[in-house]
Structure 1
Amino acid sequence: MKQFKRLFPVLLCACLLSMTACKDNTQKELERMQGEWVSKNGNTVFSLWNDNGQYKVARTVKIRGKELTNTYTVRQTDGCLYIDTGFAVVLTYDGKNDRITLSPGGEYQRSDKSLKQ
């Protein structure tokens, strides 16, 4: 029991440090994800930007020739980035290929209009 009492604070500190490091990695990933993105078929476009410390996504969809735009706040739970559109849409970034996958929603590539940071 004495060993557990000594070990518990160490484990707690390690856990808190790893959670902080995970948040820092997520922030860096969000910074790299900023810009305009277009779906592979070109029908859907979204922009990701920082608005006073909160990351936002504006998604534009063409429906029967009309454009419909909705804006969502990017949220994080357990190291997973998502937007809440009524249900959770997970954002995954592939830094090597500079692609974002929305699940559900498909794969997006950086638009020619936006510069890679």
Structure 2
Amino acid sequence: WVSVGRKPDVLIYREGDAYKVTVFKRSGLSRRLKPETYLLREEEGNLFINTGYRIDIAYNEATDVLTFSPHGDYVRAEMDTKPE
């Protein structure tokens, strides 16, 4: 998933019975990508991750957009599906 507002990209994937969210942040003077992975949780029908503070996540199926509150909207990344 790619941010609409120039925030770090995220990857959402399934690992066993759990879903995880990896955020690709740039850090330090070298600005290297540093992935940080969090467990995607559900509480009373609401999705969120806990990064030290709660970030709520909503999915709009009609527009295929994820909204991370307060970090904005994310659209599905184009996958390179060229045949080899």
If the length of structure 2 is used for normalisation, what is the TM-score? 0.84
Does residue 53 (structure 1) correspond to residue 17 (structure 2)? The answer is yes
Q: Which amino acid aligns with 1:56?
A: K
Any residues of structure 2 matched to 1:90-105 within 5 Å, and which?
A: 90-105=56-71
> 1:108 is matched with which residue?
74
Structure 1 gaps, min length 5: 1-36
Structure 1 or 2: more helix by fraction = 1
Any residues of structure 2 matched to 1:56-75 within 5 Å, and which?
A: 56-63=20-27, 65-75=31-41
Point out the structure with max Rg over C-alpha.
Answer: 1
Structure 1 residue 62 displacement after superposition: 2.8
CA pair 42-112 structure 1, distance change in 2 beyond 3 A: farther
CA pair 46-114 structure 1, distance change in 2 beyond 3 A: farther
CA RMSD of aligned residues (A): 1.8
Deviations 1:61-110 (A, max 9, x none): 23463212100001111110000000110010000000000002110000
Structure 1 or 2: more strand by fraction = 2
**Between Structure 1 and Structure 2, how many residues are aligned?**
79
Structure 2 gaps, min length 5: none
> 1:87 is matched with which residue?
53
If the length of structure 1 is used for normalisation, what is the TM-score? 0.61
CA pair 61-73 structure 1, distance change in 2 beyond 3 A: same
Q: Which has the higher contact order (CA 8 A, sep 6+)?
A: 2
Q: Are the counterparts in 2 of residues 43 and 62 from structure 1 also a CA contact under 8 Å?
A: no
Q: Which amino acid aligns with 2:42?
A: Q
Q: Which amino acid aligns with 1:62?
A: R
Alpha-carbon distance between aligned partners in 2 of 1:114 and 1:91, rounded to the nearest angstrom: 26
